[in-house]
Structure 1
Amino acid sequence: MTASVGKNLFYQSLFQGIKILMPIVTIPIISKALGAHGIGIYSFTNSIAEYFILLSGLGITLYGNREIAMVREDKKKLDQTFSELVSLKLMTTAVSFILYSVVVLVFLHRDFLYYIIQSLHIIAVLFDISWFFMGIEDFKKVSLSNLAVQTVVFFGIVFFIKDYNDLPLYLLLQALGNLFSQVVMWVFIYKKISFHFVPIKKMIRHLFPMIAYFFPQIAVIFYTTLSKTILGVLDSQTSVGIYTNTLNLSTIIITMISTINLVMLPKMSNLFSKNKIDEINKTLHSLIHAQLFISIPAAFGVSALAATLVPWFFGNDFEALKIFIPIIAPVIIIMPIGIAISNQYLLPSGNTRIYAISTFGGAAISIVLNFTLIPIIGVVGSVLTSLIVETFVTVFRLIYLNKKTQFTFDKNLILRIVASATVMVLMIVVTTNGMNATFVTTLVQIVVGVISYAGCSTALKVPFLKDLFVVLKGKLYQSKRYKVKN
């Protein structure tokens, strides 16, 4: 791992780590204050806005990241590319905002205030230049600026969200937090870029390549956000709230595990441009197995903790999550693999076709299953649909990867990881059997789980734990040398 990748991973991990810690405090507050119905209203109205947020961005996060990475060593081309992409995004955001306004005014009279607040997320897309900093591999500014804004939002939720009547304020905090986190990044851009508006002809050259990245994202929205929309229409907004919280824990963990995928995208794009195939294959193999070292025990652990975690963490409205969380837990293992394949192989190599086919296939399955299962079994239908769709997407990408690179899983290593995770679960069950559903119980379970998994992994000679200690030891040594010199 190079110094730049290590530094970027540190800042992204810091940001994502705090993003994980914050919900540990805010999810119980929000769940108990707003209840399943309040969370359902937020999630349903946000799901409508998401379609227009997607249209505003038009695939620029991945496309812009890649384009900037390719020209970052040429200042003139860098200025030109940045100006063209921002100018194009101004146009797409304006179109998207107008369409959203028409849809809300004509069709969505209920909860009108909430839709107005959600429109701020669309405006935020206009100011989002995180793709630029990712392309030049400067994750520090993106991470720290986002962290500062999210901290303000965090304290806003802690101090001001008390009951269901605070739902509009909660939506406003989320929307303004998103908007300001994008705006603040412009403070850092003027030293790096000379921005100028460009003629339509020059910006349009990016339109069709961006659309190639945009269409797969449409499919992703169809098999994620669309589930909330369909559930809200066919069932109720309360069901949407239950479904949303079912996904919350797994989504937070997946986000943390997948942080390295975002950091490694520019590096992998660069390796593909230099045709370093052996290094690409080696990196991808190591990355996926390192993720499994974390994701497998995480999935096992979430399932083991559900019964004692749900009552105190989510509140009385969410008792059903004791059953739903173990059902959805396998996606913690499945999704990071699919994300790694797309971000570290398909997209850097410019192979958007397989990426698109997998996501559109997932979208088609999602639509069919949601419309079939939700009328029959409600929220359970949405949960099962999410699991089935994510499995399809990842398996499809794996099959393609195997054909192109002869990628194979290290079955012996995975077996040792599963054995360690199984021991971890048994230790959790045995040591905390009969304890009440409280924060203390969950904390004890986590400590027992981490110690038992680490111990068993070491005994079975799972290499990643040893590598982690070596890295930490090296960082500590460097830190001590720095202090001595200074």
Structure 2
Amino acid sequence: MNSREDMRYSGDRMKNKNLGINSLLNVIKATLSIIFPLITYPYAIRVLGTEGVGKVSYANSIVSYFALVAMLGMVTYGIREGAKVRNSTNKLQKLTNELFSINLLSTVVAYTGFIICLIFVPQFVAYRIVLLISSLTIIFQVIGFEWINIAFEDYLIITVRSIVSNIVCLFLLLILVRDREDYNIYAFISSLPIIINSIWNFFYIRKYVHPRFTVNLNLKTHLKPLTIIFFNTITALIYVNADITMLGWIKGDSVVGEYTIAVKVYTVIKNILVAIYAAVTPRLATMMSETAESQYKKLNTTIWCYLSLILIPAGFGLTAVSKDVMLLVGGEEIATTSFSLQILSISLIFAIYGGLITSVYNITQGREKENLMATTVSAIINCGLNLYMIPKYSLYGAAFTTLLSELFVFVFCTLRAPNKKRFFDVDEIKNSILYAVVGSILVLLTTKVVYMLVECSALLRLIIAVALSAVVYITYLIIFKNKYTIDIVRNIMVKIKKKY
């Protein structure tokens, strides 16, 4: 990178924000989004019963489709474009006005469609009130502007806001939801985090911009990428959810229940790992806009290497402890289907690598069309294979088609990615993957030894296996001088010395 490039990038207002802290905050937010439902859901089931909670869940699922149309891929597109212009107040104001106006119009269209369905779809008649309450999220998300927070890497305020809104909702749930007829109140409380976050953020972002409606929408620039990202989201939802839907059609609710446990475990770990790399996307988008290619390459390579060192042993380690995980989450009957989680554990590796290519590299490079092609073909493959695999192999067939779908997206987008050596240090990434693969073998061996020698409860055995495997793996990385591990250890030692 030449000196002009250095000077231009050094002017970024975000240069002092620590990417490690950003990733940690994003992981905390993702973890809390898992923990709060685990607290509230059992209480809601106990008070409202399965019927009351089912009504709210049904309403939320219907509303989510209209909310998806209303947002029109706005968050992903806004993050990328906002990160590009965040150092120019005038450009950011113009972009915000245009995207806000487009979002407002798409929300009007989506909500009009929702009201029409509410009036004319017979299946919605019994759910009209709860659907209307849940639909508040469609209206309020238009003033949420979370893409501005992410573009400016405001992960602290995002996390704090999420904690506050969820705590408020938890207290309201305990105070207001007291009997089986309170499911409408529960629906409102379920929608409240989005409402609180949107109102809070509408005023918070005024430190950066003042959103205003404009008739100059600049559709020539925005409409095509927004539409591509929107349809990419739709196709991704199809190939992610098709296995459960088709499993229900072909094998019934009981098998779906067994498979859902494995999918939830897989999804929790996946969301936490996604949170790590999602925090890097705005910084990379800014670097691309300012032609800071060498810094882009360095950061891109670093996130690939760090995630490889975490992801591969996590995936293989999960295969080793899958039976105990399924036993603890779903009980003894569910534990017998742990092979589905083992398959999904391998799928996890390709899902995260696929996300690094699609959500980080392709999006920051403006290659969202490649993502749409990959997810469309993957959805077709997934649905087609499910028709053969599910009747023959039941939930294991569904898990395997998910693995193949994630593998296809990763391979397709990797092979079609141009200038790989220009934007990645391929040798450095291969080296980290080699470290991770060897370390994963040690993790598997350690877990095997624990399961052979330790006789105790499933929970204690799982804790011992995970803790001991982590110690063995980290020790191996330090002994063989993995530079990323050594850097972390060195930074920790420096902070300890400064403190004491």
Compare 87-96 and 457-466 and name the one that shifted more.
457-466
Alpha-carbon spacing, 1:283–1:202, altered in 2? closer, same or farther (3 Å): closer
Letter in 2 for 1:346: N
The answer as to 2:398 corresponding to 1:382 is: yes
Question: Secondary structure of 1:446's match?
Answer: helix
2:25·2:156 contact (CA, 8 Å) conserved in 1?
no
Does the 8 Å CA contact 2:73/2:233 hold for their aligned counterparts?
A: yes
Q: Measure how far apart 1:292 and its partner are.
A: 0.8
Deviations 1:104-126 (A, max 9, x none): 65264598477566545434532
- Give yes or no for the alignment of 1:446 onto 2:457: no
Q: Give the aligned length.
A: 479
> Residue 17 in 1 paired to residue 37 in 2?
no
CA distance in 1, matches of 2:178, 2:464: 28
| 1:363 to 1:128, Cα distance in 2 relative to 1, 3 A | farther
Q: Which moved more, 1:380-389 or 1:402-411?
A: 402-411
Distance 2:215 2:285 in 1: 29
Q: Distance in 2 between matches of 1:319 and 1:197?
A: 54
Q: Distance in 1 between matches of 2:314 and 2:71?
A: 32
Preserved CA contact (<8 Å) 1:34 1:163:
no
Local SS of the residue matching 1:210: helix
> Partners of 2:181 and 2:338 in 1: how far apart?
27
Residue 135, structure 1, aligned to residue 154, structure 2: no
Which amino acid counterpart does residue 472 of structure 1 have in structure 2? I
Asked if residue 99 in structure 1 is aligned to residue 119 in structure 2, the reply is no
Native 8 Å contact 2:225 2:368 kept in 1: no
CA contact under 8 A between 1:16 and 1:259: conserved in structure 2? yes
| 8 Å Cα contact 1:22/1:154 also seen in 2 | no
The answer (yes or no) to whether the contact 2:320–2:444 under 8 Å persists in 1 is yes
Q: Aligned partners of 1:42 and 1:316: how far apart in 2?
A: 30
Q: Identify which of 39, 59, 74 aligns with 1:60.
A: 74
- Tell me the residue number matched to 2:235: 219
- Matched with 1:417 is 436
| Aligned residues of 2:316 and 2:345 also touching (Cα < 8 A) | yes
> CA distance change for structure 1 residues 120 and 303 in 2, over 3 Å: closer, same or farther?
farther
Q: For residues 149 and 65 of structure 1, what CA distance do their matches in structure 2 show?
A: 23
2:449 paired with 1:430: yes
Map 1:346-385 onto structure 2 (within 5 A).
346-385=362-401
Amino acid at match of 1:470: R
SS at 1:354 equivalent: helix
RMSD: 3.9
Q: Deviations over 1:208-266 (max 9, x none)?
A: 33213222222212212344444445554555444433222222222222334322222
**Cα distance in 2 for residues equivalent to 1:380 and 1:202:** 48
Contact 2:26 2:276 in 1 (8 A): no
Residue 8 of structure 1 and its aligned partner are, at CA, apart by: 5.1
Q: 2:91 aligns with which of 74, 77, 81?
A: 77
Listed as ranges, the matches of 1:196-207 within 5 Å are 196-199=212-215, 201=217, 206-207=222-223
Matches of residues 19-418 of structure 1 in structure 2 within 5 Å? 19-20=30-31, 23=34, 27=38, 30=41, 48-103=62-117, 106=121, 108-109=123-124, 112=127, 119-152=135-168, 173-199=189-215, 201=217, 206-237=222-253, 239-315=255-331, 318-401=334-417, 404-405=420-421, 408=426, 410-418=429-437
Using the alignment, how far apart are the partners of 2:418 and 2:190 within structure 1?
41
Contact 1:93 1:125 in 2 (8 A): no
Code of the aligned partner of 2:438: A
Q: 1 CA distance for matches of 2:292 and 2:378? A: 31
After superposition, what is the alpha-carbon deviation per residue over 1:317-376, rounded to whole angstroms, capped at 9, x for unaligned?
Answer: 743552221110013221221222223322222122222221222222223233444455
- TM superposition shift of 1:58: 0.7
Distance between the aligned counterparts of 2:193 and 2:241, measured in 1? 21
Q: For 2:240 and 2:166, how far apart are their aligned partners in 1? A: 23
The separation in 1 between residues aligned to 2:318 and 2:181, in whole angstroms, is 32
The share of aligned pairs that are identical, in percent, is: 23
TM-score using structure 2 length: 0.81
Q: Is the 8 A contact 2:23 2:277 kept in 1?
A: no
- C-alpha separation in 2, matches of 1:162 and 1:394: 48
Q: For 1:377 and 1:171, how far apart are their aligned partners in 2?
A: 38
Structure 2 CA distance, aligned partners of 1:71 and 1:25? 35
String of CA shifts for 1:84-143, please: whole Å, max 9, x gaps: 212221221222233244446526459847756654543453233110112233332222
Q: What residue is the counterpart of 1:466 in the other structure?
A: 486
Do the aligned partners of 1:34 and 1:164 also contact (CA within 8 Å) in 2?
no
Residues 345/167 of structure 1: CA separation in 2 closer, same or farther (3 Å cut):
same
**CA distance in structure 2 between the partners assigned to 1:244 and 1:167 by the alignment:** 24
**Amino acid of the structure 2 residue aligned with 1:94:** V
**Which residue number corresponds to residue 3 of structure 2?**
none
Identify the range of structure 1 (283-292 vs 168-177) with the bigger mean alpha-carbon deviation.
168-177
- Residues 26 and 154 in structure 1, CA contact (< 8 A), matched pair in contact too: no
- CA offsets per residue over residues 366-410 of structure 1, 9 Å max, x none? 232334444554433432222111110011111123764375354
- Quick check: 1:34–1:167 contact (8 Å CA) kept in 2? no
8 Å CA contact retained: 1:15, 1:147: no
Evaluate the alpha carbon distance shift between residue 44 and residue 194 of structure 1 in structure 2; reply closer, same or farther with a 3 A threshold.
closer
CA distance in 2, matches of 1:162, 1:304: 43
Q: Determine the C-alpha separation between the residues in 2 that align with 1:343 and 1:227.
A: 22
- Which whole-Å CA distance do the structure 2 matches of 1:55 and 1:117 have between them? 18
For 1:154-176, what per-residue CA distance to the aligned partner results, in whole angstroms no more than 9, with x for missing partners? 67789999999998887665433
Task: Measure the CA separation in 1 of the matches of 2:153 and 2:54.
Answer: 37
* TM-score, with length taken from structure 1: 0.83
In the other structure, the counterpart of 1:484 is none
From the superposition, tell whether residues 151 and 461 of structure 1 become closer, same or farther in structure 2 (CA, over 3 Å). farther
Alpha-carbon distance between aligned partners in 2 of 1:11 and 1:132, rounded to the nearest angstrom: 15
Tell me, in whole angstroms, the C-alpha distance in 2 between the residues paired with 1:277 and 1:371. 45
**2:98 maps to amino acid:** E
**What's 2:4 paired with?**
none
| SS, match of residue 206 in structure 2 | coil
The whole-number CA distance in structure 2 between the counterparts of 1:167 and 1:439 is 35
C-alpha separation between the residues in 2 aligned to 1:154 and 1:294? 33
- Contact 2:284/2:300 (<8 A) preserved: no
Q: Deviations over 1:293-333 (max 9, x none)?
A: 00111112222222222223334674355222111001322
Q: 2 CA distance for matches of 1:317 and 1:87?
A: 52
Q: Secondary structure at the match of 2:208?
A: coil
Structure 2: distance between partners of 1:180 and 1:291: 33
